[in-house]
Copies of this chain bind each other. A is one copy, B any other.
Amino acid sequence: MSTENPPRPAGACQPRRPRADRARQVADVLRQQVLSEVYGPRPLPHEEVLAEEFGESRNTIREALDLLRTEGLVRRVPGSGTLVVAEKVPHGLNRLMGLAETLHEHGEVTNEVRSFGPVRAPGPVARRLRLPDGADVVYVERVRRLNGLPLSLDLTYLAPDIGAALDAEDLVHQDVFQLIEEVAGQPLGSADITLEAVNADAHSATVLEVPRGGALLMLERLTTLADGRPVDLEYVRFRGDRITMQGRLLRSAL
């Protein structure tokens, strides 16, 4: 029996599919295994084991592993096989949480404050924060690191009364969410979010230490206090190779 053409399962009726299609199919299942740390620090199973598991040829398995390698999820080590090198951490999508809060099990979040101070709000920012045209807001720009490695670049506009009560020192080790709740004396209420995948422009790539064009998860988030007042408008670029967003959706309306 050739390993190049393993028997198709009983009942399969579709014509032979291109190897690239089958490699992607295998890679997608493996990438989820890698991300959910099924393989942990152990190497992935040998090619022949995966070939048997997936009912595919070794060439297809090799092509699937190449896809994961190109993504930076695994690495080939001569003599040791294929090792997981992914360092993606899961950001919760079900509750509104700050970065340090959602990642507390994964390490220490520190923030490099690149800019901090009052600015005149551009019209669209003033309107989202329900401030009069031309009002001041406090602008904060941070590179956020997890265990020292860049994770995201956050551009934040804060309502003036909230922002004025903060100082740059607080922002180095604390989530803005936590600081807002302290200053406002009430919890946050909710946030409207928009997620996108974008390619890193040259300048953002440099700041985040990724190749130009690297995939970023872009988050726009308008956060309100419990009393409904919008106080925090953020534009966040997460490194695509370092974060996943995880949550549960319900079929019925809440």
Q: Which residues of A contact B (CB under 8 A)?
A: 9-14, 17, 20-21, 23-26, 28-30, 32-33, 35, 38, 53-55, 67, 70-71, 88, 90, 93-96, 114-120, 122-125, 136, 139, 141, 155, 187-199, 201, 203-204, 213-218, 220, 226, 235, 238, 240, 243-254
Contact = CB atoms under 8 A, between A and B. Distances in A.
Contacts of A96: 249-251
A123 B217 contact: no
Given A11-B136, A197-B215, 20 more contacts: A12-B118, A14-B116, A20-B203, A25-B141, A26-B122, A29-B122, A53-B123, A55-B119, A55-B120, A71-B199, A93-B195, A95-B253, A96-B249, A187-B252, A189-B251, A190-B251, A193-B246, A194-B245, A196-B243, A197-B238
A175 B118 CA distance: 49
A58 B56 CA distance: 57
A188 B251 contact: yes
24 contacts: A9-B136, A11-B117, A12-B117, A14-B117, A17-B115, A20-B203, A21-B141, A24-B203, A25-B141, A29-B235, A30-B124, A32-B194, A67-B201, A71-B199, A71-B201, A93-B193, A96-B250, A189-B250, A193-B247, A197-B216, A198-B240, A199-B199, A199-B240, A213-B213
Contacts of A253: 95
A117 B251 CA distance: 27
B197 A213 contact: no
B24 A115 contact: no
Nearest to A91: B195
Contacts of A53: 122-123
